[in-house]
Every structure is written in structure tokens, then in C-alpha cells.
Structure 1
Amino acid sequence: MSPLLSPESPELDDAHLALLAHYAKHLGRAPKAIRFAPHSGERRSRQKGHGMEMLELRAYQASDDLRHIDWRVTARTGQTHTRLYAQENDHQRLLLLDLSSSAYFGTRHTFISTRFIQLAGIIAWRSKQQGDTLSYRVTYGNQEHASNKSANLSALLSQLKDASQIAHRASASNTSIWSNSLLTNKAHNKDVIILTDKQNWSDSEESALIRLAQHNSVHWIQIIDSNLFNLPAGQYQIVDSQIVDSQMTNNQGVKSVSISKNSMQQAKLDFFAENSRMKEKLASFGIRHQIFDITEAPEKIARYLLSQGALH
């Protein structure tokens, strides 16, 4: 079994976060793919020249480099055309991690929050190893951290370590991870990876999400614990995440929840119906959504992102 699948504790330490570097390095190679084009009519190609990647072929403009004139197309069309290039290794990535209080829960292996944090760590290490530019915004509990400095890996890992602390489930973040932020408002031509267990957003958040998807390639990763819907009927004692008291004794901060077979089945139907609506809405925005179970290892999820071109 992968040591990442069932960590000793859902609260991750420095050694575990350092171990993620090994898994990031051995994800494999990303497939060659046509990169994202933010504007209609713009096309990108795998054709290379001058150690660069061709972004666009268009009519010549006075400011264009004469060395990049495409003489073959010019001769065929009778109009001078030039090629625009970008550095092949100039991969811009934006990581958005948003954990609700409900994410600090799991019936098998670890917490949903822990799996998200492991995945975020692999993304961070992979970006560093590939020389990609990584900006990020992380929200959990009452904490929010953001940076557009790609060299700030140690700070991000420290924040991920803090995010894994169970105490954060007592505070629900009301921050919208993709709106009201300079990082997202100014994001253009980036691979944006959204990691969150949330399924709802406001109208203003939706408008911001649509704008983000118009100018970037957005990948939405959701992790669930499907075993939650298979719990046997009965009474369960659950710690109330709204009560924080390190001196809790007896029944303080604990509530009893009754679960029947019918109520569990209805909860499952409601969840997946809402999830299906969310998936359809995200697809209409041009956002790729993928759902994974907590039983799936973080390196497997990272390989999916690699196959989609979100990682390199």
C-alpha cells in the first residue's frame, strides 16, 4: 500500500510533506498537447522554432520580427504572415485550495482534507521540479494565504502543514477561493487547478468563475468519501465541530445522530443529484471537473492532472 494512501495521522508533518517530492518526481512524463488558447481564432501548435513554442500565425504587423515571417503561407495567400512564439517552458500555474469544515472527515484511510493537501503538495513539488511558475491561494478554517512568487515553496508547504490540523474544522471559511483576489482577477493563459469539496457558490462567485474560465484552462478536482453513504443504520456519536474545548469531558461537544437505511439512501441520491448539476454547470463554463474517492492515492490524481495537461 502506498505510504501516502493511509498516513499515520491526518495531521501531516514536515517529513510527510517532504516525501511528496519523491512522488512528484516519479509521476512520469506529460503527454504532448496543444496548449490552451484564450481567444477565439487563436491557435497553438506543437511546431517549434528558435527554442520556442508557436502560439499564433497571423497577418504581419510593423512591430513583428522579420525572422519570424512564414514565407510559405505568405506565398500561398499573397499576404505577409508572421509567427508568434512563446518559451516552451513558460508554464504558468495557479493552485486554488479551499477546504470546508466538512473536509476534515473520513471513514477510511484518512480525511478528505488530508488527501487534498497531499495533492496540493505534489502539485507544488512538481511545479518546482519542472521549473514552472506556481501561484497559489489557500483557504481553510479562518486562514487565507496567497502568493504569486514561484520560489516560495517552503512557505506553501508550511501553510499546507497548518491546513492539515484538525482544529480548523471548527471554523468555516466564507472566502471565495476564485473571486475577490488579484491572483484570479489578473490570471490569463494559466493552468488553474481548483481543489475543493464545496459544491455551491453565489451568483457573484459564479460570474467570477466564468471570467476565470474564459481566460484560463481550469481543472476542478473534487474528492469524496463514498463510504459515508454505506454506514450501517444505527446511532452515532459525533463530535460537534462547532464546539472547540480542549477540556471536553463526558458528553460535552458530542451529539448523537440517528441514521436509517432510508435516510442514508436519500442522502446519497441528493448528494449525487447536486453533484451532477454542478458538473453540468462547470462543463458549460468550459471547466473540466473530475471526482475521486478518498480510497484513490494522491499520486493517481496527480497523474490524471498530468494527462490533462494541467501538470508538466
Structure 2
Amino acid sequence: MNPLLSPTSPELNDSDFALLAHYAKHLGRASSAARFTLKSGEKRSKKKGHGMEMLELRPYQTSDDLRHIDWRVTARTGHTHTRLYAQENDHQRILLLDLSPDAYFSTRYAFISTRFIQLAGLIAWRSEQQGDKLLYNLSFGGQSLEHLNKSSVWGMISQLKNASKTSNRNRQATSDLGWYGSKVTSKARNKDIIILTDKQHWDAKQQTALQQLAKHNQIHWVQIFDHHSFELPPGQYQFADAMGTTSVKISKKSSEQAKKDFFEQNATMRQRLAKIGIRHQLFDISEPPEGIARYLLNQGALR
């Protein structure tokens, strides 16, 4: 069996992440990576200057370079405007990984948390191999860790190894999702943002923050679930979570209701995301992580 599809343990080690580096290198390339159109008057220019690419046209600020004043727009509007540029080879993306205690469970192949962490590892390695800058926020086990600067890929992997520990399911999840109140996303512009989470609920304030983030960035939302969890044979089961160990009786009726509730909640979530232009993709645990990474590659989230 594919060692990525079904690792020997849900708690990943250095050899597991080293294997991910090999798969990341051989993902191939997208035939035509889709880029996004910015909103709120921002645009990418086909004309290049100073070895740079125009990102935004905005009212002049005292800290702006005088050489980048757009005199045509200034003359037309009567107000000084400046062009903002970014280096053409400055490819940056943001990864937000947010795991609830429920993610540390699955009926086969791997824990949902493990699959998310494998995918995060592939994204980290691919960014490293392509020389791209990767900023990230990792939320798991009641803690939130973020990195604002490019660092060694093994530094991030060390944190991902901690995220894979099954003891994290015994801790309460953070109330805020990765994009809310995060320094990583507070000033994000023209970035590919990849959100990996099993969570389906957030409040109105978090929705407003997400909408603002989506105005200036392309957000790729990946969700993983285990459809076999709705097909467990009727019986008595022991489940452990942040509140302790509980005994749960599962019947055919309760499984059908749980499946109905999940997909109704998922449909509501997808509608909320679609309204603000966020791409959402739901994968089953049977999908190997390199398959999900290729999806992101074809969507332009990776290169």
C-alpha cells in the first residue's frame, strides 16, 4: 500500500517527512496555473519596469518612492497616486492549518489530522524546492503558532510533528480560526492562501475578516473527512476527546442522522465561502496527500 496513504503511525517522524520531500519534488507541473483577478481596483500590469510587477495603484503616502508616482492618474483625478510593485520572483503563499480534536480520528488509512499534516508537509517542501516564501499559522491542541519570515523547512516540520501527536485531541481547540487575529494574514495582499481545516463553523466577526482577506488574495480551502465514519456497524463504542472518554451507542438511525447533519452543515459552509469567492474542495480520507497537492498545483496555489 502507498506509504503516504496509510502511514504506520498517525504520529509522523523525520523519515515520514523526508518521504514527503521526494513526493513534493515529483508532483509535476500544472499545465496552466490559474491566477486570480484582484478586486477593489487592484490589478496586475503586463508592462514591467525595474524588474518588478505592479500590484496596486493607491493614493500617495509620504513613505512612497517618488519615482513610482503615476502622473497620468494624478493629473486625471487631481490627487497624487502611487504604483506599488513586487519583485517578479517574489512568490509567496500563506498556509493556515487549523485542527479540532475531532480531526484526530478515522476509521481507516490515516487520521484526518495526519492527512492534513502530510499535505502541509508537501506544501512546505514544494515551497522550499521552488524557492518560494511560505508564511504559516498552525493551530492544534489548544495552541496557535505562526511564522512571519522564511525559515528552514525543518523548523516548520518540527512543529508539524508536534501537531501529529494524538495527545492533541485531549485539549480544547482554539476558538479563533487561523485567519482571525493573525499577524500572518493581517496585511496579506496578492497571495495564495491555503486553508486546511476540518472545522465548519465560525462567527460573524470571523466571516467579515475572511471576506476582507478574500478581497485581496486567492483563498484555497481544503477539507478532509472520512465517509466510512458514517458506516460504522451498530454497537457500543468508546471515544476519547478533550472532555474525556465516553461510551457512545451507534445505530443505523444515528449514523444516518450524523451523515445528514454533516452534509447539511457542509452545504451551509460552502455557500458562505462561495459568496465571498473562496474555492472549497472536500476530499475523502481515501485520497492520498500527493493527489490533493496536485489539485492545489492545478489550481495555481502551488507551482
What TM-score do you get using the length of structure 1 for normalisation?
Answer: 0.83
Find the partner of 1:272 among 263, 278, 284. Answer: 263
Alpha-carbon distance, 1:240 to partner: 4.7
C-alpha separation between the residues in 2 aligned to 1:30 and 1:5? 22
Q: Gaps spanning 5+ residues in structure 2: where? A: 58-65, 73-82
C-alpha separation between the residues in 2 aligned to 1:291 and 1:152? 30
Deviation per CA, 1:153-186, whole angstroms, max 9, x where unpaired?
2221000000100001001222421111221111
C-alpha separation between the residues in 1 aligned to 2:243 and 2:56? 54
Q: Superposed, which structure 2 residues align to 1:152-167 within 5 Å?
A: 152-167=152-167
Q: Please name the residue that 2:149 is paired with.
A: 149
Q: Please name the residue that 2:67 is paired with.
A: 63
Q: Give the secondary-structure state (helix, strand or coil) at the position aligned to 2:138.
A: strand
Question: Which moved further from structure 2: 159-168 or 24-33?
Answer: 24-33
| Contact kept in structure 2, 1:101 and 1:141, CA below 8 Å | yes
Given residue 161 of structure 1, which amino acid in structure 2 is its aligned partner? K
| Contact kept in structure 1, 2:32 and 2:298, CA below 8 Å | no
| Contact kept in structure 1, 2:170 and 2:240, CA below 8 Å | no
Given residue 129 of structure 1, which amino acid in structure 2 is its aligned partner? Q
C-alpha separation between the residues in 2 aligned to 1:290 and 1:183? 23
C-alpha separation between the residues in 1 aligned to 2:201 and 2:238? 28
Q: Please name the residue that 2:288 is paired with.
A: 297
Q: Gaps spanning 5+ residues in structure 1: where? A: 70-82, 244-252
Identity %: 59
Alpha-carbon distance, 1:65 to partner: 9.7
Q: Please name the residue that 2:192 is paired with.
A: 191
C-alpha separation between the residues in 1 aligned to 2:8 and 2:33? 38
| Contact kept in structure 1, 2:171 and 2:241, CA below 8 Å | no
Matched, 1:261 2:249: no
RMSD: 2.7
C-alpha separation between the residues in 1 aligned to 2:50 and 2:155? 36
Deviation per CA, 1:244-293, whole angstroms, max 9, x where unpaired?
xxxxxxxxx4x321111111111111110110110011011111000000
Question: Which moved further from structure 2: 222-231 or 177-186?
Answer: 177-186
Greater Rg by CA: 1
C-alpha separation between the residues in 2 aligned to 1:237 and 1:64? 64
C-alpha separation between the residues in 2 aligned to 1:240 and 1:274? 21
Given residue 126 of structure 2, which amino acid in structure 1 is its aligned partner? R
Q: Give the secondary-structure state (helix, strand or coil) at the position aligned to 1:63.
A: helix
Given residue 135 of structure 2, which amino acid in structure 1 is its aligned partner? S
Deviating above 2 A after TM superposition, structure 1's stretches of 4 or more consecutive aligned residues are 30-57, 62-66, 83-89, 237-243
C-alpha separation between the residues in 2 aligned to 1:45 and 1:5? 42
Q: Do the aligned partners of residues 196 and 34 (structure 1) sit closer, same or farther apart at CA in structure 2, a change above 3 Å counting? A: closer
Q: Please name the residue that 1:234 is paired with.
A: 235
C-alpha separation between the residues in 1 aligned to 2:241 and 2:199? 20
What TM-score do you get using the length of structure 2 for normalisation?
Answer: 0.86
Given residue 159 of structure 2, which amino acid in structure 1 is its aligned partner? Q
Q: Do the aligned partners of residues 107 and 210 (structure 1) sit closer, same or farther apart at CA in structure 2, a change above 3 Å counting? A: same
Given residue 118 of structure 2, which amino acid in structure 1 is its aligned partner? Q
Alpha-carbon distance, 1:63 to partner: 3.3
Q: Please name the residue that 2:75 is paired with.
A: none
Aligned length: 286
